[in-house]
Structure 1
Amino acid sequence: MGYPGRPMATSFAALIFRPAEIPDRALSQGFAVALGGWDVASPRLLVAALPGLPGYSAAYYSSGEPSAGAGDELDHLIELFEDELSPPVAVLDAAAELGRPGATVFALVYSEEILHDDGWRLEASGFLRYFVREGEEGLEAGVETPDRSDLVEIAVDLPESAAEQEEREAIDRAIRPHRGSTFLADELGAPVLGALMAGLFAPERRVEVRLVEPGPASIAAEMARLNRVLRREDGRGAPAPPAPVRGVAPPATYEAFVRAYDWADPADPEDLYRELAIGAIEGTLRFLREGELRGHERDPAWEAAAGRALYPIARLLGSSLGGGAAQRATIALGPDGERLWLVRDGASAAPAGPTFGELLRYLSLGWSRRTDAEEDLIGALMLRARLRSLAG
């Protein structure tokens, strides 16, 4: 027996959390990590306080894909939240990285169009999940933990003459104890579904989904992280503020980088980052020195790149594993101070893949012993960069 869908049906995926435990940065990074391998260019994350649940808010996720039909969007929500590295798992990891290791989050993926009511409680020690859904053979309910998974069919006996309303009421009675929303109401001590519906239509703010935040302050923080990992000193040997290159002023993010980078590490005078593989950046990287920037200023071949307001920041050499001279390129920073470009022969420019901040985080993770959560993060950085570089 199928579930009679409702007209004007609502579907959503929401993460329920305490803002005191889960800051916006954990939401932003966590969802970005979970989406690392998904081809979702403009994800939307809207946050609202939940009426009737003091101290709790909900983050509502959608793909932001205008071409996605309701069915495709629901399929995406279900698959994403059932993934091993789901948004709730990645958000908990991000919160722990930010010094909030004891957080608990809840999640609900819900649809009235088809029957899907999937509720989760997640914490560092594990998870508990209750759900009802339409399976291949009819309605089914399940309970899942890290150690067990139970699935049963739900049978509803009705006479053939039963009206649609009678059928709906009978099914609702049969599935109510198994619903994810019922489980969450018991966990939180208050009705959840109505509160989530109210928050869905009255969001307070949008949280941008980003692996690494943009802006000069974020670049300075990423450089401090990289210097700690490499046991370097902040700003050692820093040159004068960088000058314009063929009329293009250095972005503020690059100025922050120059102030914070260790330009004179006696333990590593070559200052080479070898065997990189993130997006189209493959090989050995070295950040440009003051004299090399002046060389680009004098080089007429850089005029085309300057016409696109690109500012050179590093050179990329071929990999010793076989990249060779064909891989030589200049890495340039776009006018937004965030996007990186690969420029060959001073003319052709293609997206490098990572943002400036993502490249710096990749470097710090690449030169450190990583936790499981950091493995997930570096994997997401590489996947997202690859998708961007291929998209062009």
Structure 2
Amino acid sequence: MATTFAALIFRPAEIPDRALSQGFAVALGGFDVASPRLFIAPLPGVPGFSAAYYSSGEPAGSGDDELDHLSELFEDELSPPVAVLDAAAELGHPGATVFALVFSEEVVHDDGWRFEASGFVRHFVREGEEGIEAGVETPDRSDLVEVDVDLPETATAQEERDATDRAIRPLRGSTFLADELGAPVLAALMGGLFAPERRVAVRLVEPGPASIVDEVTRLNRVLRREDGRGAPASPPPVRGVAAPPTYAAFARAYDWADPADPEDLYRELAIGAVEGTLRFLREDELRGHEREPGWEAAAARQLYPIARLSGSALGGGAAQRAIVALAADGEALWVVRGGTSAAPAGPTFGELLRYLSLGWSRRSDAEEDFIGALMLRARLRSLGG
């Protein structure tokens, strides 16, 4: 079977798993893929380097479709290597270098890259409309030429293949990477592809209570608030539904009593179906949901109310109200109207908190890319994508 893959080549000391996860998630913000993931493997024969193989999670189908997706993703201005470098810099590794290869045996496609903070270099060969073409790109240069293969009229198919291989070998992206890394990169990548060491999920924000605490602390810092001020002893159950552990962690870390902002309103939100003005529910409001008309249906779905949402953006022109509720997994958010009608909110709990902190920050270019990815992913999820 012909092999098609895209891989990021990196030094684990420079690129932690969180940078890989976040970087690919940012690059994939506007792509509607099923369940993107990364498989990590050390590269045999290339000491100190590992590879992250990207999979879209789509059902196996046409190799051409897969190659089209990989090419579009890695040729995008905000490609996975660029976003991974941004994430690595945020995590304390601003001088990292990464390499990438998009490769297919089904057609001639061998596209190699080196990325660092100062820019990139790209070498590739591929099948174009008029035949095989080769190119070199940098931020200041873009050269593209057709590859001529001299063959006698009597050449056999095998002789044509051999001559083509000789002509394109020095122009291949994998040849460029082999020179950069001083090792036969393509053979190493083929070996690692079939011997993954572990899997890394692709996420903008990690799930779990510890991650939620980090996000709340970030939000408090942005708003110049105090961690845990006025926090309840323990969030009460609502209609028999206990608070998920992520919400309990949020409640302990959030600033519930900022004297400079007693209303505690987040206005003009627009992320997925979370549109309008949001206010996190206080303990007495949570207890009030024991009597909220119609909330039995939401409780039957194990939804826990966490915030009230209001504003004309909810539809109908006049001001409307809804509840943002947290699913039992502590990650998925739902917008509940009338206690009965529930629809996916779009962002996860952690993503909503990061959106709030970024929304009230002076953002860097990398943070602008991050909030853009948050909004794109939330939009796709809220539409059922």
Same fold (TM over 0.5): yes
Distance 1:327 1:382 in 2: 22
Measured against aligned partners, the alpha-carbon deviations of 1:118-170 in whole angstroms (never above 9, x if no partner) come to 00000010000000001111111000000110001110011222112111111
Partner of 1:254: 247
**Unaligned segments of structure 1, at least 5 residues:** 1-7
The one-letter code matched in structure 2 to 1:283 is G
Q: Secondary structure at the match of 1:194?
A: helix
Q: Secondary structure at the match of 2:39?
A: strand
Partner of 2:368: 375
**Structure 1 position 304 matched with structure 2 position 297:** yes
CA contact (8 A) 1:119 1:131 kept: yes
CA contact (8 A) 2:123 2:172 kept: yes
Partner of 1:174: 167
Within the candidate set 186, 204, 226, 1:211 is matched to 204
Q: Offset at 1:322?
A: 8.5
Q: Secondary structure at the match of 1:298?
A: coil
The one-letter code matched in structure 1 to 2:262 is P
Q: Secondary structure at the match of 1:262?
A: coil
Partner of 2:322: 329
Q: Offset at 1:50?
A: 0.2
Measured against aligned partners, the alpha-carbon deviations of 1:303-341 in whole angstroms (never above 9, x if no partner) come to 000000000000001058987545410000000000000
Distance 1:30 1:202, change over 3 A: same
Partner of 2:187: 194
Measured against aligned partners, the alpha-carbon deviations of 1:273-309 in whole angstroms (never above 9, x if no partner) come to 0000000000000000011001101224110000000
Q: Offset at 1:69?
A: 2.0
Partner of 1:285: 278
Which ranges of 4 or more aligned residues in structure 1 deviate by more than 2 Å? 319-327
Partner of 1:125: 118
The one-letter code matched in structure 1 to 2:134 is A
CA contact (8 A) 2:275 2:314 kept: no
CA contact (8 A) 2:275 2:313 kept: no
Partner of 2:356: 363
Q: Secondary structure at the match of 1:99?
A: coil
Distance 1:271 1:333 in 2: 20
Alignment of 1:1-392 (within 5 A): 8-66=1-59, 68-319=61-312, 325=318, 327-391=320-384
Greater CA deviation, 350-359 or 316-325?
Answer: 316-325
Partner of 1:4: none
Distance 2:265 2:155 in 1: 75
CA contact (8 A) 1:53 1:195 kept: yes
CA contact (8 A) 1:274 1:319 kept: no
Give the TM-score normalised by structure 2: 0.98
CA contact (8 A) 1:283 1:327 kept: no
The one-letter code matched in structure 1 to 2:31 is W
Distance 1:181 1:354, change over 3 A: same
**Unaligned segments of structure 2, at least 5 residues:** none
CA contact (8 A) 1:275 1:319 kept: no
Greater CA deviation, 38-47 or 303-312?
Answer: 38-47
CA contact (8 A) 2:312 2:319 kept: no
